[in-house]
Structure 1
Amino acid sequence: MAVTLKMQKDGRTFRPCWYGVYESDNKRRVVNLGIRWRGTPPASGSLRDAGDEAFEKSREKAEEALSKFRDEAARKGNAAHLVERLIEAKTGRAVSHVRIDELAERWRNVGRRARPSPVYIQACDALFRRFGDFMRSRNPAAVYLYEVTSDDAAIFAGLCRDSLATATATSQIQRLRSSFARLLPPGVMNPFADVVMKGGDEAIHRRPFSPVELRAILDTARPDEFLYPLVVTAACTGMRRGDVCGLRWDAVDLEGAMLTVKTSKSGRRVEIPIFAPLMAVLKERVGNGGKFVFPEAEAMLRENPSGLTYRFKKLLVEALDAAPATPDGAEPTAPAEVEAEALAAIREHVRPGPKRERMIEAMRLYAAGESYRDIERATGMPRPTLSGYFQEIGQMIGCQFIRGAHKATGYKSAIARVTREAREQGRNAASVRDWHTMRATWVTLALTAGVPMELVRRVTGHATADIVLRHYFQPGKAAFQSALLDAMPEVLTGRAAPKQITAALVKANPKQELSDLAAKLATGTATKAERARFKKLAAKV
C-alpha cells in the first residue's frame, strides 16, 4: 500500500491530487484520494526522497486517507462476500456479476416464453450499446451493473426523454429497468427503480375513426381481396393486427357465432361475438385448407410486417384524403447504370472500414437487381440502413437510382398528412391513424353506445378499466356534442330533452348508471367521484 503522484499529459508536471495504490482480490487498484499535494516535491523527482515540510504533511494526509479507504473497502468486501455466501447457501447457485459491456448478450439469452423477434433484439442491442457508451463517458470506473448509480440512471433517462418521443423514451427506460432487475445479484438495488416515468399528459393518442370514416374505409377496401377481410375483422373485433393475421380456425365457432382467441400480447383468452360482416368474410374462407383463416396475411406478418402497415396506411389515404396522392418526379436511373460510378464515389468519400465495405456490398447487390428484402436477408443489414446508404451514395454522385422512389414520393407525403401528427417533443411525428386505431375505434364506439365496461374488457382482454379509459376511449367532437345535447336541459340546448330517468331508477339500474357516467366521461364533465364510481360499476356489471 502506497501513495503516489501521476504525471500530466505533458510529462513534466504532476497532477494536483495524490493517488493511492493497493491490492484487492489479487488485483492492483489505483484510486484518486482527493488530497491535493502542497509545497515543493523532491528535487530528484523521485517520491522515495523527501520534499519540503508542506509536501510531506500532504503526503501524510494522503496516506491516512488511503488507509481509511482500504479499511472501508475491506469491510464492504467482507459484507458483500458474506451476502454472496448466504445467497449461494439458500439458492445453491453462485452469484454472478454481469459487466456493463455484457448487458446486450446476457439480455439476449435470458429465458423467455417465446423467442424475441429480430427487430426487438436489434432495438435492445442498440439501446444497451448506447448505455455502455454513456457509462464509459460519465463513469469510466464502473465495470459491472451493480456499480451503476441512481444518478447515472437518472441522467441517462433524462437524455432519452430529451432526444426521443415520450412513448419511446418510456419504453427504453422500462427495458433497462427490467434488464437490471433480471441480471443484478439478489439484494442489489436497481438504479432504474427510482427513475420517475413521465405522466401521460403529453402522450398523443390515436384518433378513432368516426362511423362515416369507417364506412369509407370499408368501401374503399372492398375491391382488395387481401386487405378487405383483414379490415373487416379488425373493425368488427377490435383485435390487434397480429391477432387478426394469426386468427386460427380452431378459435372460430361459426355455429355459435363466437371467436375465442388467446391474445398474442398478454396471453389472455377473449370472447368476441361474430357480427354479420365478419360472418360473411369467414364463410367465404371456409375450407381454405390451412390452420389460419388468413394464411397469406400470417405469412406477410412474419416476413414483411412493414408492408402490411404501408398497405393499410395507403388505404387510409385513398379513403380519407381529400387530395389523393399521385406519383411525381422523374423516373430514377437504373442502379446497374451507375454501379461503377457509385463504387468509385464510395471509395473516394468513405474512409476505409466496415461501413465502406458494407456500402460496397449493398450497392453491388442492388445493382444486380436484388430487392431491399433480399439484401437484408443476405447481409443482415436492416432496411433503414440500406435506405440511408443508397441516399448517401445518390448524393455523392448527384443521381437518383433508388427503384420506385418517384412513385413513393406522393404517397409518403399523403400518408404523413393523413396518419401522423407532429409532437412538441421528440424527433418523429406520432402515428395517430394505423392498424391499432381500429382497436381504439371499436372501444370508443362501444363505450359511447353504452356497452358496459366489463363487456368491452371481455372483448379486448384489458386487465383494468383505467387502461381502456386512458389509452383507447377517445371520443371525438361529435360524441361530445351528442352527449351534451342529451344531458343538458331544453332551456339551454333548445331541443326536447330525452326521457328523464329518476335518481332512484338509476340507482336501481347499474347498467343505466354506467351508461350515464360514460356519457359524462365522453364530455369531460365527470367529477373525480364519478370517475371512481364508473370504475367500481364497470368491475361489477
Structure 2
Amino acid sequence: MSLELRKNSKRFYARLTVNGKRKAFPLNTHYRGKPPDGLRLKNEGDAEFERSRGEALAEEKALQKEFQEGKSERQLREKVYEAMTGNEFKPVDLKDLFKIAKNFPRTKPWSPKYAEQIENRCQLFLEFLNKRHVNISYAHEVTRNMVEGFLAFYLTKTNCSAKTLDDVRVGLQGLWTVLEKKELQNGNPFRGIPKKYHITTTKEIFTPKQIEQILHEAEKDPELYQITVTSISTGMRLGDCCTLKWASVNMKKRIIFVPAVGKTQKPVAIPFFGQLEEVLKNAEEARVDEEYVFPLVRRLYARESQYFSKSFSQLLLRIGFTDDENPETSIRLTGESGGSRRRPVRSFHGLKTTWMTMALRGGVSLEDIKKICGNVDTQVILKHYFQSDAERIRSELKTAMPEALSGVASTGSEPVSTIHLLNLLDQMSADNWEFISKRMREELLKTKGNDVDTSNNDVSTTQ
C-alpha cells in the first residue's frame, strides 16, 4: 500500500493493485497543513499534515479491505471510474439511459423504427431490474450477472431465436457504449458476453411450376399479388416492395431505382418487364397516391410488418405446401441444433432467392446481380441465395464431357436446356416477342427434337 500527492489536488491518492494492474484511487481525505517539499511523502510535513496523512492511511487500509473482501461493489466501481478518468463520478439514472443514447451525435441517426425497438427493449430491461434488483437505480450499478439473468429471462419469455437474442444484447450494449464515449461510465456490463450460436437459414427456391401456382393463388389477394410479382421480377426485399415510391419508377425506361436498399445502403437500378410492367401500369392508371406505388400495401405493412409474410405463408399452405417436418414440402423446419423454434425455409424471401438463382442460371453476370440486389459480398450470394441442383449439373456435365468420360454418345449437336427456353420466355414482351420467338426457333432447329433437355423441369419441350 502507498499514498501519493498530486500538484493540482489536495487529495491523497491510494495506489492499489486491482486485477493485476496498479491504479491510483482518489481518497476522500484532503491534506492539511504544510506538505513535505516536492510533495514527496518519503519526507515529513508539519504536525497538521501528518495527522491528515494518518487519516488517509486509515482510509486506504479500509479501501484495500473492501477490495479483498469484495464489499461495496458500487462504491468500488465509482472509485475505479475516478481513477481511470480523473473526473468526479456523476451517476447516470437508468431512466435517462435511452434519452442520452438517442440524443448522442452519430454519423447515421437512428431511424424512428429502430429507436422504438431500442426503447422497448430498454424498458423491458428496466422492468426486469425493478423486479429482481430493487436497489438498482444507476447505470454503473448494473453488473454482468444482472445482464446474463435478463438475457435468460428474455429467452424464456419470448422463445426468440439466437439471432434475436444477440440483437437485444448488442442494442442494449450500445446504450452503455454511449456512456463510455461521454465519459459517464467506465466499463460495459454487456461487453464480453459471447454470441449465441445460430444457423443462418438458406431459403429454398421455387420451381417455375410453383411460381405459376403462387401467382395464380395470389391473384385472389390484389395487394399480395402486387408485391409478389414485384419481388419475383426484381429480387427486391419485402420491405422495399411494400414501400416502393413513384419517384423510384421510370415507366419509359422500365427501370425501378431504389435510392438505398435497406440492408446495404447502396443505390441500385432494377429493370422490369412482363407481368411487373403490367402491374405498374395498372397501378399508374388507378393512381390515388402521389408518393407510394402501392398505397394500401404500404399502410398494411406499416401497421404490421409481418402482415404479408404471414399472408404469403398461408398462400403456400393453400397450394400444397405443409407445416410439418417434411423437408420436401414444409415451410418451416426444426433447426439442426434442435429446440422448440422452427426456422422458415420457404417464405416470401424465397422469391428473392429464386430470382437470383434464375438470373445466375440464365447467364446474368454475378457483378450485375450484386448491383441489382445490393449484396456486395460474393460469398453471401453464392452461399445463401444461389441454389443449384445436382441433377441439372449432372445433365450439363454429361453433355459437356466427351463420350469416354460421360458414357453418353455424342449427338453431334448441343441440347437446348428447358431452363434456357424458360428464361427466354420470361423476357418476352409485346415489344420483343417476334425477336424472342425467332431466337427460340433458331436454337431449337440447331438440334434434333429428342435432344431438348427436359430433365428436372416442370415443362416438357419437344420440337
* TM-score with structure 1 setting the length: 0.52
For 1:260, what is the secondary structure of its paired residue? strand
Q: Are the counterparts in 2 of residues 440 and 472 from structure 1 also a CA contact under 8 Å?
A: yes
Query: What stretches of structure 1 of length at least 5 have no aligned partner?
Result: 1-23, 27-61, 87-93, 323-410, 500-541
Name the CA distance, whole Å, in 1 between partners of 2:83 and 2:67. 17
Shift of 1:283: 1.7
Q: Are the counterparts in 2 of residues 316 and 418 from structure 1 also a CA contact under 8 Å?
A: no
Paired letter, 2:179:
L
Query: What stretches of structure 2 of length at least 5 have no aligned partner?
Result: 1-26, 30-57, 413-463
For 2:257, what is the secondary structure of its paired residue? strand
Larger helix proportion of the pair: 1
Shift of 1:101: 5.8
Map of 2:458 onto structure 1: none
Name the CA distance, whole Å, in 2 between partners of 1:168 and 1:216. 33
For 1:462, what is the secondary structure of its paired residue? coil
Paired letter, 1:226:
E
Map of 1:445 onto structure 2: 358
Q: Give identity over the alignment, percent.
A: 24
Is 1:464 aligned to 2:460, yes or no? Answer: no
Name the CA distance, whole Å, in 2 between partners of 1:496 and 1:155. 68
Paired letter, 2:82:
H
Q: Are the counterparts in 2 of residues 229 and 281 from structure 1 also a CA contact under 8 Å?
A: yes
Q: Are the counterparts in 2 of residues 157 and 195 from structure 1 also a CA contact under 8 Å?
A: no
Map of 2:111 onto structure 1: 114
Map of 2:348 onto structure 1: 435
Show the 5 A alignment for 1:259-338.
Answer: 259-262=256-259, 263-287=261-285, 288-290=287-289, 291-321=291-321
Change (3 A) 1:65 1:103: same
Q: Are the counterparts in 2 of residues 84 and 95 from structure 1 also a CA contact under 8 Å?
A: no
Is 1:98 aligned to 2:92, yes or no? Answer: yes
What is the aligned counterpart of 2:64 among 57, 62, 68? Answer: 68
Name the CA distance, whole Å, in 2 between partners of 1:260 and 1:122. 33
Shift of 1:232: 0.5
Map of 1:3 onto structure 2: none
Map of 1:179 onto structure 2: 175
Map of 1:204 onto structure 2: 201
Shift of 1:217: 0.7
Name the CA distance, whole Å, in 2 between partners of 1:131 and 1:234. 41
For 1:204, what is the secondary structure of its paired residue? coil
- The one-character-per-residue Cα deviations of 1:283-341 (angstroms, maximum 9, x if unpaired) are 2222414221111111211224443333222222223338xxxxxxxxxxxxxxxxxxx
Q: Are the counterparts in 2 of residues 320 and 418 from structure 1 also a CA contact under 8 Å?
A: no
Q: Are the counterparts in 2 of residues 486 and 498 from structure 1 also a CA contact under 8 Å?
A: no
Q: Are the counterparts in 1 of residues 333 and 343 from structure 2 also a CA contact under 8 Å?
A: yes
Shift of 1:66: 2.8
Map of 2:333 onto structure 1: 421
Paired letter, 2:346:
R
Name the CA distance, whole Å, in 1 between partners of 2:304 and 2:369. 31
For 1:226, what is the secondary structure of its paired residue? helix
Change (3 A) 1:236 1:71: closer
For 2:113, what is the secondary structure of its paired residue? coil
- Name the count of aligned residue pairs: 338
Change (3 A) 1:141 1:289: closer
- The one-character-per-residue Cα deviations of 1:388-445 (angstroms, maximum 9, x if unpaired) are xxxxxxxxxxxxxxxxxxxxxxx9999xx84322234444322222222222222233
* TM-score with structure 2 setting the length: 0.59
Change (3 A) 1:293 1:96: farther
Name the CA distance, whole Å, in 2 between partners of 1:209 and 1:318. 15
Paired letter, 1:463:
V
Map of 1:10 onto structure 2: none
Shift of 1:180: 2.6
Is 1:230 aligned to 2:227, yes or no? Answer: yes
Name the CA distance, whole Å, in 2 between partners of 1:231 and 1:83. 57
* CA RMSD, Structure 1 to Structure 2 (Å): 4.4
282-291 or 486-495: bigger deviation: 486-495
Name the CA distance, whole Å, in 2 between partners of 1:485 and 1:208. 20
Show the 5 A alignment for 1:120-519.
Answer: 120=117, 123-125=120-122, 127-129=124-126, 132=129, 136=132, 144-149=138-143, 153=147, 164-186=160-182, 188-200=186-198, 202-262=199-259, 263-287=261-285, 288-290=287-289, 291-321=291-321, 418-423=330-335, 424-473=337-386, 475=387, 479-487=389-397, 489=401, 494-495=407-408
Shift of 1:260: 0.8
Shift of 1:77: 5.6
Q: Are the counterparts in 2 of residues 251 and 261 from structure 1 also a CA contact under 8 Å?
A: yes
Map of 2:81 onto structure 1: 80
Q: Are the counterparts in 2 of residues 485 and 493 from structure 1 also a CA contact under 8 Å?
A: no
Name the CA distance, whole Å, in 1 between partners of 2:219 and 2:63. 81
Change (3 A) 1:67 1:422: closer
- The one-character-per-residue Cα deviations of 1:340-388 (angstroms, maximum 9, x if unpaired) are xxxxxxxxxxxxxxxxxxxxxxxxxxxxxxxxxxxxxxxxxxxxxxxxx
Paired letter, 2:173:
R
Name the CA distance, whole Å, in 1 between partners of 2:411 and 2:110. 53
Q: Are the counterparts in 2 of residues 241 and 435 from structure 1 also a CA contact under 8 Å?
A: yes
- The one-character-per-residue Cα deviations of 1:474-526 (angstroms, maximum 9, x if unpaired) are x26xx232224434655675446899xxxxxxxxxxxxxxxxxxxxxxxxxxx
Shift of 1:236: 0.8
Name the CA distance, whole Å, in 2 between partners of 1:95 and 1:451. 61
Change (3 A) 1:117 1:67: closer
Change (3 A) 1:119 1:64: closer
- The one-character-per-residue Cα deviations of 1:232-262 (angstroms, maximum 9, x if unpaired) are 1011111111211111111111222211112
Change (3 A) 1:109 1:472: farther
Map of 1:13 onto structure 2: none
